[in-house]
Structure 1
């Protein structure tokens, strides 16, 4: 059955000499895998250029229940994002976040509120100038809420540790190595106030930003089994150097 859907591209990888597989978070079905043809025809070449990370597409596909990979019949840009792929910082951030999401959004479960958040975030990244270097940190803070392990900030008191494994602030040193000492825990607590409206007010050095990001990745790794390593993190590091 031919069906139309709106989706946000997470990543694309080669599958065979005839097709690549595009992983897309869609409005109707959540995470969907689409087969994108690799033939040399004009239509195939156009399709390949569309499926880049964080592109927002209208997709027409051969939708059949119980099939893991759906065949793309046609696709078009649903919302143009000209800055996202030409601004080096925004492009690096989009590559990083799309890879990050690909480690989390594995099951084909629909979530309208998350899809709306992701749509808003991608468009905001395209338009944002002031504070764009903090965008990925702000995004991950909000993502932890959707994933169900947003830190319990109500437990914070000055001088407390932050237990990364249990997501709480505590005066007792945890009996495992995954925690932040008081100074770092207080900085982490302050970051929890960051949102898209005020992220430009957080003045972070390059080293501070990378330390925070590494800690946040560690936090997600502890709460998402099989999360693995983020390869595009090196792109961010080199860009901000």
Structure 2
């Protein structure tokens, strides 16, 4: 049966001489893997350059529950983002976020709220020229609300340390190996309180940004099964420096 669904591309790999394997998060079916036979052929009506990381697409797909490889029948840019094109300087961020999403999105069923969150952030990235330095931190923290391990912002002078394992702030006496230090815990608290529109008001050093990103990725590793080392992280961090 043919279904229409919006989809966010998480990545693609070459398959055989002319085909593609595409990983996507779809509005209707959650995370899915598609094969596009002949997608790299010059004669193909489905052009392979559509399947780039975080591209937002409208797709007609043949879907069968439980099948490991689904089929794409037709594809075009999404109506909500018809001009989709990331400037080159955004590519490291796009590849980094796409790799995170590929690792943490696992459900093979639709989640309209999560899809709306992701598509809105993609459209924001397309439209904005100056990306806030803490954008990726805000994105990763807010994403945890949909993954089931969102941190609790109970920071206070009595509980100033963030416990990565239990996702709450704790007392100094309760410090253990998975607690952030005082300074990074406080910066983490500031990020938790910040809206996307107010990120530019945060004054954070490059050392703060790097330390907090590493802390958040450790948080993901503790709470998301199979969250392993990211290939795109070193390039993303180097360019941020």
TM (normalized to structure 1)? 0.90
Unaligned runs of 5+ in 2: none
Q: Does 1:227 align with 2:217?
A: no
Q: For 1:48-87, what aligned pairs fall within 5 Å after superposition?
A: 48-78=48-78, 79-84=81-86, 86-87=87-88
Shift of residue 173, structure 1, vs aligned partner: 4.5
Q: Is the 1:161–1:181 Cα contact (8 Å) retained in structure 2?
A: yes
Shift of residue 195, structure 1, vs aligned partner: 2.1
SS of the residue 2:104 aligns to: coil
Distance 1:184 1:135, change over 3 A: closer
Distance 1:81 1:207, change over 3 A: farther
Alignment match, 2:12: 12
TM (normalized to structure 2)? 0.90
The one-character-per-residue Cα deviations of 1:51-108 (angstroms, maximum 9, x if unpaired) are 0011011112222333221112221111235452x241x2211111110011111220
Unaligned runs of 5+ in 1: none
Q: How many residues align?
A: 238
Q: Distance in 2 between matches of 1:82 and 1:195?
A: 25
Q: Distance in 1 between matches of 2:17 and 2:175?
A: 51
Q: Distance in 2 between matches of 1:133 and 1:87?
A: 17
Alignment match, 1:198: 198
Distance 1:64 1:151, change over 3 A: closer
Q: Distance in 1 between matches of 2:43 and 2:121?
A: 32
